[in-house]
Amino acid sequence: MATAVFHFDEVLKRFLSKPRRGGPFEYDCARAATLKNAIEALGVPHTETGALTVNGQPATLQRAVREGDVVQVFPWDPSRAPRQPAFLADAHLGGLARFLRMLGFDTLHENALSDEEIRRLAREEDRIVLTRDRELLKCADITRGAFVRELKAEAQLREVAARYGLAQMARPFTRCLACNLVLAAADRREVLDRLPESVSRLHDSFVRCPGCLRVYWRGSHYARMQAALGRALAPS
């Protein structure tokens, strides 16, 4: 075993056990442990970490921990956010997925997806995994992800929007809330048979999902959704 001293940034201390949140502490690492192994054994998913230093020098998660090392762990850096993020929200984040789609972001969400399928889709489709499952984020094949701390959907959106700078990239009401496809303009005559009578009488502008064929219009619900998105994207 190798004993090292770990310093975690304040943002990351919430992942640690309570006795370790006060300041630097010694930790006995398993034989041949990497920094990733040690940091995650302490409770911090690698997706939440940013820069690392060992004995004052830059290091990577793959570096082996050695006796007497002093390790500094910094939080994830927002400057690493992709310009056009695509998300995968796990089964417990359906409300968040709907809000992200409402903002126009490609967001995969299916209740039946297994952890193995989530890992595969994240890797193959280069998606950011959003979850409240810390163990899922520790999987090596999930290179980008976020532990969602908030419990309510609107607060979760505020958290994710701040982390990834979504306000500047949002294209609200351009994606289907049900199946995630990009919406297309629809002629009123083409969708008339799918509209309630009151809607067909009061509205002239419609968009339609090319997949599930749902029709959308700017009814009273539109103002409510706009207000919710405005609250989530407002500067704190």
- List the domain boundaries for the chain: 2-76, 87-233
pTM of the model: 0.89
Lowest-confidence segment of 5-19, 166-180, 201-215 by average pLDDT = 201-215
Quick one: fold of 2-76? Answer: Ubiquitin-like (UB roll) (3.10.20)
Interval 72-88: pLDDT, tens: 999 999 888 888 899 99
Whole-number mean pLDDT of the chain? 92
pLDDT surpasses 80 at 158: yes
Rounded Cα distance between 69 and 80, Å, is 27
3-state class (DSSP) for residue 146: strand
Average pLDDT over residues 145-170: 94
Rounded Cα distance between 142 and 61, Å, is 14
Tokens of 17: 């056990």
Q: Check residue 190 and give its pLDDT.
A: 82
Q: Check residue 199 and give its pLDDT.
A: 76
Sheet holding 184-186, edge to edge: 184-186, 206-208, 215-216
Q: What is the dihedral of CA 113, 94, 150, 218, to 10 degrees?
A: 150
Angle 36-145-157 from CA coordinates, rounded to 5°: 145
pLDDT surpasses 70 at 236: no
Share of the chain above pLDDT 90, in %: 73
CB of 133 closer than 8 Å to CB of 90: yes
Q: Check residue 153 and give its pLDDT.
A: 94
3-state class (DSSP) for residue 224: helix
Q: Distance between the two ends of the chain, CA-based, in angstroms?
A: 45
Cβ within 8 Å of residue 137, ≥6 positions away: 45, 46, 47, 48, 129, 131, 145, 146, 147
